[in-house]
Amino acid sequence: MKYAGEDPQDPAAEAAAGAEALAHMPAREDQRAHDDQRGTRNRVARSILDHGPSTAAELALRLELTQAAVRRHLDTLLAEGVVEPREKRVYGARTRGRPAKMFALTDCGRDAFDQAYDKLAGDALRWIAQAAGGGEMGEAAVAAFARARMAAQAEGYRAALEAVAPEERTEALARALTEDGYAATARSAPVGEQLCQHHCPVAHVAEQFPQLCEAETEVFSRLLGTHVQRLATIAHGDGVCTTFIPKTTTASTSTAGRNPA
Protein backbone atom coordinates (compact mmCIF):
# COMPACT_ATOMS: atom_id res chain seq x y z
CA MET A 1 0.00 0.00 0.00
CA LYS A 2 1.32 3.49 -0.87
CA TYR A 3 0.86 6.50 1.29
CA ALA A 4 0.10 9.81 -0.36
CA GLY A 5 3.27 11.45 1.01
CA GLU A 6 5.47 8.73 -0.49
CA ASP A 7 4.25 9.14 -4.08
CA PRO A 8 7.24 10.61 -6.06
CA GLN A 9 4.84 11.63 -8.81
CA ASP A 10 2.62 13.64 -6.48
CA PRO A 11 1.75 16.75 -8.55
CA ALA A 12 1.37 18.93 -5.48
CA ALA A 13 4.81 17.97 -4.15
CA GLU A 14 6.45 18.60 -7.54
CA ALA A 15 4.79 21.99 -7.81
CA ALA A 16 5.98 22.96 -4.34
CA ALA A 17 9.55 21.86 -5.08
CA GLY A 18 9.56 23.78 -8.36
CA ALA A 19 8.24 26.91 -6.69
CA GLU A 20 10.95 26.72 -4.01
CA ALA A 21 13.69 26.34 -6.64
CA LEU A 22 12.37 29.31 -8.60
CA ALA A 23 12.23 31.38 -5.45
CA HIS A 24 15.94 30.81 -4.79
CA MET A 25 17.11 31.47 -8.36
CA PRO A 26 16.95 35.29 -8.22
CA ALA A 27 18.90 35.28 -4.94
CA ARG A 28 21.62 33.07 -6.43
CA GLU A 29 21.83 35.21 -9.56
CA ASP A 30 22.01 38.39 -7.47
CA GLN A 31 24.81 36.90 -5.37
CA ARG A 32 26.72 35.82 -8.48
CA ALA A 33 26.36 39.30 -9.99
CA HIS A 34 27.48 40.89 -6.71
CA ASP A 35 30.58 38.64 -6.60
CA ASP A 36 31.44 39.53 -10.22
CA GLN A 37 31.12 43.24 -9.46
CA ARG A 38 33.28 42.91 -6.36
CA GLY A 39 35.90 41.00 -8.34
CA THR A 40 36.04 43.71 -10.99
CA ARG A 41 36.33 46.45 -8.34
CA ASN A 42 39.25 44.55 -6.81
CA ARG A 43 40.90 44.50 -10.25
CA VAL A 44 40.43 48.26 -10.52
CA ALA A 45 42.00 48.81 -7.08
CA ARG A 46 44.86 46.41 -7.86
CA SER A 47 45.56 48.19 -11.14
CA ILE A 48 45.87 51.51 -9.27
CA LEU A 49 48.19 49.82 -6.78
CA ASP A 50 50.40 48.37 -9.52
CA HIS A 51 50.48 51.43 -11.79
CA GLY A 52 49.95 54.35 -9.43
CA PRO A 53 47.31 57.11 -9.64
CA SER A 54 45.32 56.56 -12.83
CA THR A 55 42.55 58.17 -14.84
CA ALA A 56 39.35 56.33 -15.70
CA ALA A 57 40.51 56.19 -19.33
CA GLU A 58 43.82 54.56 -18.35
CA LEU A 59 42.07 52.01 -16.16
CA ALA A 60 39.56 51.20 -18.90
CA LEU A 61 42.41 50.59 -21.37
CA ARG A 62 44.40 48.38 -19.01
CA LEU A 63 41.44 46.32 -17.83
CA GLU A 64 39.63 46.20 -21.19
CA LEU A 65 36.48 47.73 -19.73
CA THR A 66 34.35 50.66 -20.85
CA GLN A 67 35.02 53.99 -19.18
CA ALA A 68 31.41 54.03 -17.98
CA ALA A 69 31.92 50.69 -16.21
CA VAL A 70 35.19 51.86 -14.67
CA ARG A 71 33.55 55.06 -13.40
CA ARG A 72 30.78 53.03 -11.71
CA HIS A 73 33.38 50.96 -9.88
CA LEU A 74 35.37 54.07 -8.98
CA ASP A 75 32.23 55.65 -7.52
CA THR A 76 31.79 52.62 -5.26
CA LEU A 77 35.48 52.60 -4.28
CA LEU A 78 35.24 56.32 -3.49
CA ALA A 79 32.20 55.71 -1.29
CA GLU A 80 34.05 52.88 0.50
CA GLY A 81 37.07 55.12 1.10
CA VAL A 82 39.39 52.86 -0.93
CA VAL A 83 40.38 55.51 -3.51
CA GLU A 84 40.47 59.30 -3.59
CA PRO A 85 40.48 61.80 -6.49
CA ARG A 86 43.52 63.92 -7.33
CA GLU A 87 44.37 66.47 -9.96
CA LYS A 88 46.71 65.14 -12.62
CA ARG A 89 50.10 66.80 -12.64
CA VAL A 90 50.87 68.62 -15.87
CA TYR A 91 54.48 68.94 -16.98
CA GLY A 92 55.41 71.71 -19.41
CA ALA A 93 52.91 74.04 -21.01
CA ARG A 94 49.35 73.53 -19.78
CA THR A 95 46.80 72.86 -22.51
CA ARG A 96 43.25 74.18 -22.56
CA GLY A 97 40.67 72.58 -20.34
CA ARG A 98 40.93 71.00 -16.93
CA PRO A 99 43.39 68.11 -16.51
CA ALA A 100 41.91 64.64 -16.24
CA LYS A 101 41.09 63.51 -12.71
CA MET A 102 43.37 60.83 -11.26
CA PHE A 103 42.37 58.22 -8.72
CA ALA A 104 44.83 57.07 -6.04
CA LEU A 105 44.58 54.52 -3.25
CA THR A 106 43.92 55.86 0.24
CA ASP A 107 45.68 54.50 3.32
CA CYS A 108 42.57 52.38 3.85
CA GLY A 109 42.90 51.03 0.31
CA ARG A 110 46.56 50.18 0.80
CA ASP A 111 45.78 48.44 4.08
CA ALA A 112 43.85 45.84 2.10
CA PHE A 113 47.10 44.75 0.44
CA ASP A 114 49.52 42.78 2.65
CA GLN A 115 50.32 45.29 5.38
CA ALA A 116 49.31 43.20 8.37
CA TYR A 117 52.67 43.39 10.19
CA ASP A 118 53.05 47.17 10.42
CA LYS A 119 52.48 47.29 14.17
CA LEU A 120 54.97 44.51 14.83
CA ALA A 121 57.63 46.21 12.67
CA GLY A 122 56.98 49.59 14.27
CA ASP A 123 57.24 48.11 17.77
CA ALA A 124 60.52 46.40 16.85
CA LEU A 125 62.09 49.62 15.54
CA ARG A 126 60.94 51.56 18.61
CA TRP A 127 62.57 48.90 20.79
CA ILE A 128 65.83 49.25 18.82
CA ALA A 129 65.75 53.03 19.31
CA GLN A 130 65.03 52.75 23.05
CA ALA A 131 67.63 50.03 23.58
CA ALA A 132 70.24 52.29 22.01
CA GLY A 133 69.45 55.03 24.49
CA GLY A 134 66.82 57.00 22.59
CA GLY A 135 67.34 60.46 21.10
CA GLU A 136 70.06 60.80 18.48
CA MET A 137 71.62 57.48 19.45
CA GLY A 138 68.27 55.78 18.97
CA GLU A 139 67.79 57.38 15.55
CA ALA A 140 71.31 56.30 14.55
CA ALA A 141 70.56 52.72 15.63
CA VAL A 142 67.41 52.65 13.50
CA ALA A 143 69.36 54.08 10.56
CA ALA A 144 72.02 51.37 10.99
CA PHE A 145 69.32 48.70 10.96
CA ALA A 146 67.72 50.24 7.84
CA ARG A 147 71.08 50.28 6.01
CA ALA A 148 71.80 46.67 6.97
CA ARG A 149 68.34 45.60 5.80
CA MET A 150 68.73 47.36 2.45
CA ALA A 151 72.29 46.07 1.99
CA ALA A 152 70.96 42.51 2.20
CA GLN A 153 68.25 43.28 -0.37
CA ALA A 154 70.77 45.05 -2.61
CA GLU A 155 72.79 41.89 -3.15
CA GLY A 156 69.99 40.40 -5.22
CA TYR A 157 69.42 43.67 -7.08
CA ARG A 158 73.11 44.02 -7.91
CA ALA A 159 73.18 40.73 -9.77
CA ALA A 160 70.19 41.82 -11.89
CA LEU A 161 71.82 45.16 -12.76
CA GLU A 162 75.20 43.69 -13.62
CA ALA A 163 73.54 41.41 -16.18
CA VAL A 164 72.35 44.33 -18.36
CA ALA A 165 73.84 47.32 -20.17
CA PRO A 166 74.20 50.57 -18.12
CA GLU A 167 71.33 52.26 -19.97
CA GLU A 168 69.01 49.38 -18.99
CA ARG A 169 69.83 49.34 -15.28
CA THR A 170 66.94 51.50 -14.09
CA GLU A 171 64.49 49.18 -15.85
CA ALA A 172 66.28 46.15 -14.37
CA LEU A 173 66.08 47.66 -10.89
CA ALA A 174 62.35 48.28 -11.38
CA ARG A 175 61.83 44.61 -12.28
CA ALA A 176 63.81 43.46 -9.25
CA LEU A 177 61.81 45.76 -6.94
CA THR A 178 58.56 44.47 -8.42
CA GLU A 179 59.56 40.92 -7.50
CA ASP A 180 59.91 42.17 -3.91
CA GLY A 181 56.40 43.63 -3.90
CA TYR A 182 57.07 47.28 -4.78
CA ALA A 183 55.17 47.30 -8.12
CA ALA A 184 57.92 49.43 -9.67
CA THR A 185 58.23 50.91 -13.15
CA ALA A 186 60.83 53.02 -14.95
CA ARG A 187 60.03 55.85 -17.34
CA SER A 188 61.87 58.54 -19.25
CA ALA A 189 61.99 62.06 -17.82
CA PRO A 190 63.65 65.30 -18.90
CA VAL A 191 67.46 64.83 -18.58
CA GLY A 192 67.08 61.46 -16.92
CA GLU A 193 64.72 58.72 -15.77
CA GLN A 194 62.20 58.22 -13.01
CA LEU A 195 61.97 55.08 -10.93
CA CYS A 196 58.38 54.80 -9.65
CA GLN A 197 57.35 52.45 -6.84
CA HIS A 198 53.57 52.21 -6.84
CA HIS A 199 53.41 50.14 -3.67
CA CYS A 200 55.46 50.13 -0.49
CA PRO A 201 55.09 47.17 1.87
CA VAL A 202 56.53 49.25 4.75
CA ALA A 203 54.81 52.58 4.01
CA HIS A 204 53.10 52.98 7.38
CA VAL A 205 56.28 52.12 9.28
CA ALA A 206 58.30 54.51 7.11
CA GLU A 207 55.92 57.32 8.13
CA GLN A 208 57.34 56.95 11.65
CA PHE A 209 60.88 55.98 10.65
CA PRO A 210 62.08 57.91 7.56
CA GLN A 211 65.44 56.17 7.91
CA LEU A 212 63.91 53.31 5.87
CA CYS A 213 63.37 55.61 2.88
CA GLU A 214 66.78 57.24 3.29
CA ALA A 215 68.59 53.89 3.32
CA GLU A 216 66.69 52.80 0.21
CA THR A 217 67.69 55.97 -1.65
CA GLU A 218 71.35 55.44 -0.69
CA VAL A 219 71.24 51.89 -2.06
CA PHE A 220 69.68 53.05 -5.34
CA SER A 221 72.50 55.58 -5.72
CA ARG A 222 75.20 52.94 -5.16
CA LEU A 223 73.57 50.38 -7.44
CA LEU A 224 73.10 52.85 -10.30
CA GLY A 225 76.48 54.50 -9.83
CA THR A 226 75.13 58.05 -9.71
CA HIS A 227 73.53 60.54 -7.36
CA VAL A 228 69.75 60.09 -7.27
CA GLN A 229 67.05 62.36 -5.90
CA ARG A 230 63.92 61.22 -4.10
CA LEU A 231 61.05 63.37 -5.37
CA ALA A 232 58.08 61.81 -3.57
CA THR A 233 57.25 59.00 -1.16
CA ILE A 234 54.09 57.13 -0.27
CA ALA A 235 55.11 57.47 3.38
CA HIS A 236 54.79 61.26 3.07
CA GLY A 237 51.34 61.03 1.50
CA ASP A 238 52.26 60.95 -2.19
CA GLY A 239 50.63 58.44 -4.49
CA VAL A 240 53.94 56.97 -5.69
CA CYS A 241 57.53 56.77 -4.42
CA THR A 242 59.41 58.58 -7.19
CA THR A 243 63.19 58.70 -7.58
CA PHE A 244 64.91 60.80 -10.23
CA ILE A 245 68.01 59.29 -11.88
CA PRO A 246 69.95 61.85 -13.95
CA LYS A 247 71.54 60.90 -17.23
CA THR A 248 75.25 60.26 -16.86
CA THR A 249 77.49 61.64 -19.60
CA THR A 250 80.49 59.80 -20.99
CA ALA A 251 82.82 62.35 -19.43
CA SER A 252 81.32 62.06 -15.96
CA THR A 253 81.27 58.26 -16.18
CA SER A 254 84.92 58.04 -17.22
CA THR A 255 86.01 60.26 -14.33
CA ALA A 256 83.78 58.68 -11.71
CA GLY A 257 85.68 58.16 -8.47
CA ARG A 258 88.64 60.34 -9.46
CA ASN A 259 89.77 63.41 -7.58
CA PRO A 260 89.17 66.69 -9.45
CA ALA A 261 92.30 68.18 -10.99
205-259 pLDDT per residue, tens: 999 999 999 999 999 999 999 999 999 999 888 888 999 999 875 434 333 333 3
Maximum CA extent, the chain: 115
Domain 34-88+100-113: assigned CATH number: 1.10.10.10
Distance CA 171, CA 169 (A): 5
Residue 164 has pLDDT above 50, yes or no: yes
179-208 pLDDT per residue, tens: 888 889 999 988 899 999 988 888 889 999
Q: DSSP string of 70-103?
A: HHHHHHHHHHTTSEEEEEPP--SSPPSSPPPEEE
26-59 pLDDT per residue, tens: 555 555 655 677 788 889 988 888 788 889 999 9
pLDDT of res. 221 = 95
In angstroms, the Cα distances linking 168 to 23, 45, 159, 199, 225 are: 61, 30, 13, 22, 13
pLDDT of res. 259 = 37
